[in-house]
């Protein structure tokens, strides 16, 4: 923190936008040491409760959020559910909360998504991506996937502490040949574009970037209602682009309705215009200049 404060005092920026929970709190606490005129706009990209639980001392973190966040010049967030939680749980005045959509560089994603990558076989091909942790729900997705037709195939992208247990789970369910763990992929978009649907079985989210990127590749999304701002994405999308289905039979039924449609290049983008890089940049610039 001393080095960061010293750097900010040297640069004298008009605004600073931290985006990690613990760093947001630290900079808000250090505001008296920042240059005069430098405003602080912490960005909360997940539900505050999730960021608080990730701190070493959740009780202290909760108190710090309630005390420090209302002192910010404004708080940025990426979904209405996050904005509501900031007002309800952290005491931030709604007028000081600014919704800035996650920026998706559609042109770059689509240029990188071709040629597509698709698992061999004739049945429907699904893809999911994220850190391999309890939050992302891959454990229950493997269990549910075992109930689908034997021709279905799932590719999971990402790394995390639960990888070994998830691989073991797939083997125990007899799904080792139908669930492939592709590890971390710096450019995951060819996998998205090659799939018939992108799956989001998360137990909680902020605004799921991977789902937006899948839509940019023209791949429909099937998600749980708990997946943060996915309901906002569904409301802004064309019919059929995003299916929000409750976990269990509803989610399984949505998967069974998917038909195999191989593609060598990304299909037409399904992502709503509001999430484009240009729109998000305009929104952020407007807030910082106000």
pTM, entire model:
0.88
pLDDT tens for each residue of 195-213: 999 999 999 888 899 999 9
Helix residue spans in the chain (DSSP H) = 2-11, 21-29, 48-53, 58-68, 80-90, 106-112, 138-145, 163-172, 189-194, 209-216, 230-236, 249-256, 277-289
> Across all residues in the chain, what is the average pLDDT?
94
Q: What percentage of the chain carries pLDDT values higher than 70?
A: 100
**Bridge partners of residue 153, in order along the sequence:** 125
Domains of the chain: residue spans and CATH: 2-99 (3.40.50.2000), 109-270 (3.40.50.2000)
Question: 120-152: per-residue pLDDT in tens?
Answer: 999 999 999 999 999 999 999 999 999 998 899
- Residue 48 pLDDT grade (very low, low, confident, very high; cuts 50, 70, 90): confident
User: β-pairing, 221-223 with 153-157?
Assistant: unpaired
Res 61 pLDDT > 90: no
Of the candidates 196, 185, 191, the residue with the CA atom closest to the CA atom of residue 113 = 191
Q: If DSSP codes are grouped into helix, strand and coil, which group holds residue 140?
A: helix
């Amino acid at each position: 923190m001393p080095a960061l404060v010293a750097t900010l005092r040297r640069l004298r920026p008009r605004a600073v936008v931290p985006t990690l929970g613990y760093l947001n709190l630290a900079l808000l606490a250090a505001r008296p040491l920042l240059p005069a005129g430098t405003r602080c706009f912490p960005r909360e990209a997940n539900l505050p409760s999730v960021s608080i639980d990730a701190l070493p001392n959740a009780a202290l973190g909760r108190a710090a959020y309630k005390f420090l966040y209302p002192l910010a010049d404004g708080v940025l967030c990426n979904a209405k559910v996050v904005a509501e939680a900031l007002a309800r749980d952290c005491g931030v005045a709604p007028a000081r909360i600014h919704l800035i959509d996650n920026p998706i560089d559609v042109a770059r994603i689509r240029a990188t998504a071709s040629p597509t990558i698709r698992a061999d076989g004739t049945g429907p091909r699904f893809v999911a991506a994220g850190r391999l942790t309890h939050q992302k729900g891959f454990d229950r997705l493997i269990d549910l996937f075992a109930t689908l037709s034997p021709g279905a195939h799932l590719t999971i992208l990402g790394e995390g502490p639960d990888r070994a247990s998830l691989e073991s789970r797939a083997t125990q369910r007899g799904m080792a040949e139908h669930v492939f763990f592709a590890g971390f992929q710096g450019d995951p978009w060819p996998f998205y574009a090659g799939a018939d649907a992108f799956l989001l079985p998360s137990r909680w989210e902020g605004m799921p970037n991977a789902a937006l990127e899948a839509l940019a590749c023209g791949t429909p999304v099937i998600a749980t209602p708990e997946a943060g701002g996915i309901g906002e994405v569904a409301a802004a999308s064309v019919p059929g682009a995003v299916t929000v289905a409750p976990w269990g039979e509803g989610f399984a039924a949505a998967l069974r309705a998917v038909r195999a449609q191989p593609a060598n290049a990304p299909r037409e983008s399904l992502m709503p215009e509001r999430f484009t890089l240009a729109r998000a940049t305009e929104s952020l610039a407007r807030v910082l200049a106000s």
